[in-house]
Structure 1
């Protein structure tokens, strides 16, 4: 073989990231009589193929798990059945509180075998179930709510866990008989995570999961899911000890999901109940930009990775714009919505359309999102994303090209987007690269968002300018008392378009992170530089610390402290010192009760560094949660805010009391009763809501 040809072969192998390490394999045997899901582990499981030899991912990477685990797997026409046999040498070391994350197991399934995305099913020793979607080859996690069931049973030798996962709950290619799969066991007090397949100490990766062969799902029937929703809401507003308004109303809505193919899913919602009576937590905002708020509505969360995921370098789609709250507190009504997602070959595709109603100055609007992603070079990706908002006042559309390249410890991303808002056209560009190994970590980000780039209709565009940052430093694992340690020095440059010509913010920084073997976490950061803001050039330094004690103990503490010698305070339009603090105390009383108290404070000095009482913003958040079982709980929380009012220049006081009883009585079927009492500026607003949602699976 010539040198040129051998070099080309080496390059191809390197680009594809071919793995030389063999992956474990388990076969799905067919069972004519399904096992009873009760945690007993009846003799039928002896006919199943099994997985053993779990390997620690942390703390002692590559060593055998400290407790042996055996997993059995069966299938019939409609379900995948999985059983865990988990021996326990000392039950006093098992973490099983309902009020906390317990010891337990995980099942991870990659039906498309794309080495990027996976379903994760979690069952704790205390019977608590949860699930989510893994994206980005294990680097990101998205909420998901699947239909499946499990059972846990304690035995003299340990505990058994059984799961039944319907094929109709998963999206999969109909002709593929081999999937990616992995199993995990977590021992919380030991800080141990062990997997069937070997994973690096730097983290779990979908691309390193084992193989599931012989999988043969049968037909899915109609694949139709109906979710009728009924809601009763009572709202009362009291002004100066007199009733300002008193309203009682009943609402009904319908959510429909149809899976015409094993890989496709169509969701439709009519007059949905997307209102949140639990307000977003109060946050101090001293910048000149609006805050980013996390999405919590199931219709928008499911399959979010198809539409760019929760992380977009330039956010051309921001689902919280849909049904957004207005300044008077009312939310723009959502009339109807439809969402389609599908997987064809190595590609995934999505369509989202939502119609919102007219309210106050917000006209009736139509939001549209289209997405297409295709895998290339192993588990790398190339995608297109479109988002738009149209109404009688304006139109706003954006189209982005998104490329992600992954190779072992390296990840890079190119995001190029063009936007139209009214008569203006402009673009945004982001380049990112990261490296993560067991000895070194680093990241490079370069970003430019043009002055006329605007995606604030369906997306989120605040900052516009040029930005660049780089850090690179050593990391250590399992050395001395450290489970993990990192030293990250770096530099940062930033320029917004309203700065004077050739003016940049410049900063050098150092971040230190450490996690001990006893599960204490410490992060320290400091930096110094100069910047431009409020028509002034100034130099400033900053420092901070974040510390968390072992969360597995009955009592835990976390503390956050930060200080900036000079900062641009856009709430008071001055350049002055700012200090922030947050203290959280958390205690577990028995197995079912969790109580907490959080106190956060922000101190805004004046330009001469002087502080008065009205310069303090204080937020108190005590609360408790009691778990009746793994399916039912009640939560009470209070938020008291003492804050600076920029309109009056004085302090204002707000109080919120929130209560919630929730009961999941069947998969994706729940009942809740909630109340929210808010007191602000002499007015009392009380809301009571009772809601029932039930799944009809056809």
Structure 2
């Protein structure tokens, strides 16, 4: 229940596109109780959903991550009411762990107030300052297989492309296999992105490339791990995919993301067929800090480009943070 007799401020928006001028309520879950990573879920008074992954104790937020969950809101004279229902299958968690980190937040725009249930939270969604949810009984999430196949048949007769009376059949899809509650394998073959949300048009008058959000299913899981100050892997640079394989999850104190993708050549852009490999590992250190490595490789016939970098996030008490 969210009391407040004044009018609520909110706009009609699509999922994950809530603005900072909206009233909202959110909660976060630290399902590994590591005070570093978590999942966030947010609603405005119109019921618009936003879900996101949290990394490095709130330093990185990935709103492009999507999962299945349900919600409901009702507005009354005294305020409004929000209800969340997040199934265990929609998040990763540590098996046999009976205590999670949890926090709640609310934004009230008419008096410019942002309030949290636990901690100072000087940074939005700082996991280490949350409270504790105890007595959890989590199910075994291993062995779940999810398939996203597709098949198409197209006919083309165009003077513009100079193709007449040609039929083309196509098939492919994505597969997700949950090894256990910590690890997931993703695979893709000749994926079709016709159902992926289209990018919003942007006008670029600078010499730098535009950054678009990643919405392709294969890249969503674990993509927040590549969000660093100097981003050496930007998945939107990977074009028409032939195949892809990826392993993501957490083993002990190590967060892992390993992927390999083969991409078709694009003659119009003079892009040759290429193979991409990215490996990201982060280790939990101290109470709520991390240190990690990123290796990125792009190889093609006659050449390659590679990089290896290291980074760290040190949380020094409740208010100070050192990154590099």
Q: Which position in structure 2 is the counterpart of 1:294?
A: 212
Structure 1 residues 124 and 389: alpha-carbon distance in aligned structure 2, compared to 1, 3 A threshold: same
Q: Which position in structure 2 is the counterpart of 1:213?
A: 134
The alpha carbon displacement at 1:236 in A equals 9.5
SS in 2 for 1:284: coil
Structure 1 residues 155 and 236: alpha-carbon distance in aligned structure 2, compared to 1, 3 A threshold: farther
In the alignment, does 2:323 pair up with 1:413? Answer: yes
Q: Is the 8 A contact 1:106 1:122 kept in 2?
A: yes
In the alignment, does 2:184 pair up with 1:265? Answer: yes
Q: Which position in structure 2 is the counterpart of 1:175?
A: 96
| 2-structure distance, mates of 1:397, 1:174 | 36
| 2-structure distance, mates of 1:369, 1:201 | 33
Q: Is the 8 A contact 1:387 1:398 kept in 2?
A: yes
Q: Which position in structure 2 is the counterpart of 1:590?
A: none
What stretches of structure 1 of length at least 5 have no aligned partner?
Answer: 1-84, 238-242, 324-332, 415-698
Structure 1 residues 232 and 293: alpha-carbon distance in aligned structure 2, compared to 1, 3 A threshold: farther
The alpha carbon displacement at 1:280 in A equals 5.2
Equivalent residues in 2 for 1:205-244, closer than 5 Å: 205-220=126-141, 222-229=143-150, 243-244=159-160
Structure 1 residues 162 and 390: alpha-carbon distance in aligned structure 2, compared to 1, 3 A threshold: same
Q: In structure 2, which of residues 278, 286, 290 is the aligned counterpart of residue 369 of structure 1? A: 278
SS in 1 for 2:191: coil
The alpha carbon displacement at 1:260 in A equals 1.3
Structure 1 residues 185 and 231: alpha-carbon distance in aligned structure 2, compared to 1, 3 A threshold: farther
| 2-structure distance, mates of 1:338, 1:413 | 31
Q: In structure 2, which of residues 242, 259, 269 is the aligned counterpart of residue 352 of structure 1? A: 259
TM-score normalised to structure 2 length: 0.84
Structure 1 residues 221 and 172: alpha-carbon distance in aligned structure 2, compared to 1, 3 A threshold: closer
SS in 2 for 1:114: coil
The alpha carbon displacement at 1:115 in A equals 1.6
Q: In structure 1, which of residues 83, 88, 95 is the aligned counterpart of residue 9 of structure 2? A: 95
The alpha carbon displacement at 1:398 in A equals 2.2
Q: Is the 8 A contact 1:339 1:352 kept in 2?
A: yes
In the alignment, does 2:63 pair up with 1:139? Answer: no
In the alignment, does 2:238 pair up with 1:322? Answer: yes
SS in 2 for 1:146: coil
Q: Which position in structure 2 is the counterpart of 1:397?
A: 306
Higher strand content, 1 or 2: 1
Structure 1 residues 177 and 98: alpha-carbon distance in aligned structure 2, compared to 1, 3 A threshold: same
SS in 2 for 1:244: coil
**Count of residue correspondences:** 308
| 1-structure distance, mates of 2:146, 2:115 | 36
| 2-structure distance, mates of 1:407, 1:233 | 58
The alpha carbon displacement at 1:201 in A equals 4.7
Q: Which position in structure 1 is the counterpart of 2:249?
A: 342
Q: Is the 8 A contact 2:293 2:308 kept in 1?
A: yes
Q: Which position in structure 2 is the counterpart of 1:119?
A: 39
TM-score normalised to structure 1 length: 0.41
CA offsets, 1:133-186, max 9 Å, x none?
122222221121011111223345443322211111111110211111011222
| 1-structure distance, mates of 2:34, 2:24 | 27
| 1-structure distance, mates of 2:65, 2:106 | 21
RMSD: 2.8
The alpha carbon displacement at 1:204 in A equals 4.2
Q: In structure 1, which of residues 179, 191, 197 is the aligned counterpart of residue 112 of structure 2? A: 191
| 2-structure distance, mates of 1:188, 1:236 | 55
The alpha carbon displacement at 1:223 in A equals 2.0
